[in-house]
Amino acid sequence: MDFSLSKQQNLFLQMIREFAEKEVKPLAAEVDESERFPIETVEKMAKLGIMGIPFPTEYGGAGGDNQLYTMAVEELSRVCATTGVIVSAHTSLCCAPIMENGTPEQKAKYLPKLCSGEWIGAFGLTEPNAGTDASAQQTMAVKEGDHYVLNGNKIFITNAAHAHVYIIMAMTDKSKGTRGISAFIVERDFPGFSIGKKEKKMGIRGSATCELIMENCIVPAENLLGQEGKGFSIAMKTLDGGRIGIASQALGIAQGAMDETVKYVKERKQFGKAIGQFQNTQFQLADLQTRIEAARLLVRKAAYKKDMKLPYSADAAMAKLFAAETAMDMTTKAVQFHGGYGYTREYPVERMMRDAKITEIYEGTSEVQRMVIASNLLK
């Protein structure tokens, strides 16, 4: 068992850390404050191949793997969780299901544009009445000749306002329950497709989270992803992969908050000494750092299993559950260590605490992760 990073991984970290520090961090506060999608950052990432890390070069990807992808999401999220989730949703929720379920034609048509970052991807499963109970889909898809007609609304869609391609789940046969759900590749220019209201969120405020509206939306039959009735299974497998991305995002947020806290407790003096010299500070930081490192190992293990094509559903759930709860605790304590300053937007930990919360909710709440882990344990 080898825990050391390869030379290639070290070279990658050198690049992504420098990129995050110089190109992403300076925008993070403003992107949050103004709820602005950092499109210029996406363009820069596209040029470097960050929008298609784990996909083969024949489809315009960088030819890397999920290890590099998780490192990218972690390092980006360490300075800006918005940027981290833009990459994660695009890669795990749109590119990956096309890569894994698409026909050769679908892959050839969509992946080069997505992997090069010319197009941004998104994913639509959640509906007003289908959150954790994703099987309660109300969006309908009816086949009419050479196309399907989709009707329904999707909500809380990351990247929605800036995406070009959406993986949309819809009922093709309501009588079959989850086996009646199908997946579709929907382009934003398809007739009857539009973007609805933008959410005003607590955190990850730059990620352009919106509603998707389909009113008699015409989707060519060849844009059915996988077979009819396989949509729910595609969605669940996609979310397994997505959880590795969100776990990486949570890990990055936690590490970022730790970085800020370490810097602060060394500088901030009270009662005549740096607050980092108090054992109360030291013990709490030691516990948190231990959890961050444990989260990192869970993330790396889940990514490794996905790369090795081993079953990784429970590993991804454990990584996400643990990393998300670590991020929430770490950021909450980071604010506490910063005291009154931490509660202001003078310091980034306030933003990090708001950003951390979503990692316990989206792509399966922490409760869902526990369900996945337990069902795997008790099967």
Partner 1 sequence: MKIVVCIKQVPDTTEIKLDPVTGTLIRDGVPSIMNPDDKGGLEFALRLKDQYGAHVTVITMGPPQAEAILREAFAMGVDRAILLSDRKFAGADTLATSNTIAGALRALEYDVIITGRQAIDGDTAQVGPQIAEHLDLPQVTYVEDLKYDGQKTFTVKRTTEEGYQIVEVDAPCVFTALASGVKPRYMSVRGIVEAYDKDIEVWGFNNITVDEKKIGLSGSPTRVFKSFTKGAKAAGQIYEVDPAEAADIIVNKLKEKFII
Of 17 and 179, the one with the shorter C-beta distance to partner 1 is 17
Query: Which one from 75, 127, 211, 363 is the annotated catalytic residue?
Result: 363
Q: How far is the CB of 99 from partner 1 (least distance, A)?
A: 16
Q: How far is the CB of 18 from partner 1 (least distance, A)?
A: 7
List Cβ neighbours of 36 (8 Å cut-off, separation of 6 or more). Answer: 30, 206
Q: How far is the CB of 295 from partner 1 (least distance, A)?
A: 24
Query: Phi-psi region for residue 204, left (φ > 0), alpha (ψ -120 to 50) or beta?
Result: left
Give alpha helix (H) positions in the chain: 7-19, 25-33, 39-48, 66-79, 81-88, 96-101, 104-115, 231-267, 279-307, 313-342, 349-358, 366-378
Instruction: Single out the residue of 49, 134, 94 nearest to residue 241, CA to CA.
Output: 94
Interface with partner 1 (CB under 8 A): 7-8, 11-12, 14-15, 18-19, 47-50, 52-53, 57, 62-64, 68, 72
Of 42 and 168, the one with the shorter C-beta distance to partner 1 is 42
Positive or negative: CA dihedral 288, 293, 294, 299: positive
- Number of CB atoms found within 10 A of residue 369's CB: 24
Query: Helix (H, G, I), strand (E, B), or coil: what is residue 270?
Result: strand
Helix (H) or strand (E) holding 184: strand 181-187
Q: How far is the CB of 357 from partner 1 (least distance, A)?
A: 30
Of 49 and 180, the one with the shorter C-beta distance to partner 1 is 49
Query: Helix (H, G, I), strand (E, B), or coil: what is residue 318?
Result: helix
The length of the chain in residues reads 379
Of 11 and 202, the one with the shorter C-beta distance to partner 1 is 11
Burial grade of 100 (CB within 10 A; 0-12, 13-18, 19 or more)? middle
Q: How far is the CB of 252 from partner 1 (least distance, A)?
A: 17
Residue 74 a catalytic site member:
no
d(C-alpha 69, C-alpha 209), whole Å: 22
Of 62 and 288, the one with the shorter C-beta distance to partner 1 is 62
DSSP codes of every residue in 204-257:
-TTS--EEEEEEEEEEEGGGEESSTT-HHHHHHHHHHHHHHHHHHHHHHHHHHH
Q: How far is the CB of 56 from partner 1 (least distance, A)?
A: 11
Token readout for 343 is 């509660």
Enzyme catalytic residues: 363
